[in-house]
Structure formats: C-alpha cells, structure tokens
C-alpha cells in the first residue's frame, strides 16, 4: 500500500472510526462508512485531492439486514488513486446526504 493511500485511509478513519476497509480482487480500495458521516468523509477526500467523482451508484441486496447500498467512486488524478466509498442502508433509513455541493456531477447521478 502506498504512502499516499495510507494517508487516505487515515483521513477516512479520522472522520469515521468505525469505517471498514478491504482490497477487492481487482485491487480496488473499498471503505464502508456510516451514512451519518458520509458527506464528511467525501468532503475530507475532496479536500485531500480526490477531485473527480467517477460514479455514484446503488445496489439492492434484499436478503440482508441493510438491503440497500450506495457506492461512490472517487479518484485523485494526480496520484492516480481510486477509492470506493460504500454506505449500507436499511429499508427504514434509506437516505443519505447529497454531495452535489461537493461535486456538481452528482446532481444527475443522485436523481
């Protein structure tokens, strides 16, 4: 893991100490964070070089306790580092804060 990514991991964990991390089979860095601090995590990443929102998507896993997942893909173009931020949501609490104030392009993807 690069020094730059270690810094990224530290930034995310400073905002959400309960964030979980894994490196998937395609060497993509994944964090699962709390929906309550999602905006703050994304904001901290943007302030630290993750200027590009690649994608924002969602998944539905009906057989799980938190059946919805919102996934944010952000990239630092200078360091060529990508991070996937995931938030798991229940059917009862299935909304997260908008990140349009951080990334204009999220406006279309959040619809």
Query: For residue 56, what pLDDT band results from cuts at 50, 70 and 90?
Result: very high
pLDDT of residue 1: 56
- pTM summary value: 0.91
* Strands 29-33 and 81-89, bridge-based pairing: parallel
Question: CA of 16: how far to CAs of 5, 25, 36, in Å?
Answer: 16, 24, 9
Give me the percent of the chain exceeding a pLDDT of 70: 99
pLDDT digits (tens, 9 = 90+) for 7-29: 899 999 999 999 999 998 988 89
Whether residue 111 is predicted with pLDDT greater than 90 in this model: the reply is no
Measured between its terminal Cα atoms, the distance across the chain in Å is 35
**Average pLDDT in the 66-74 region?**
95
């Amino acid at each position: 893991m690069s020094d730059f990514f270690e810094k990224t991991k530290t930034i995310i964990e400073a905002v959400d100490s309960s964030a979980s991390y894994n490196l998937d089979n395609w060497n993509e860095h994944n964090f699962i964070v709390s929906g309550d601090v999602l905006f703050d995590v994304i904001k901290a990443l943007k302030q630290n070089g993750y200027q590009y929102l690649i994608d924002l998507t969602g998944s539905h896993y009906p057989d799980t306790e938190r059946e919805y997942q919102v996934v944010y893909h952000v990239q630092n173009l200078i360091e060529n580092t990508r991070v996937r931020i995931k938030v798991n949501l229940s059917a009862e609490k299935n909304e997260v804060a908008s990140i349009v104030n951080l990334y204009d392009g999220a406006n279309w993807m959040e619809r």
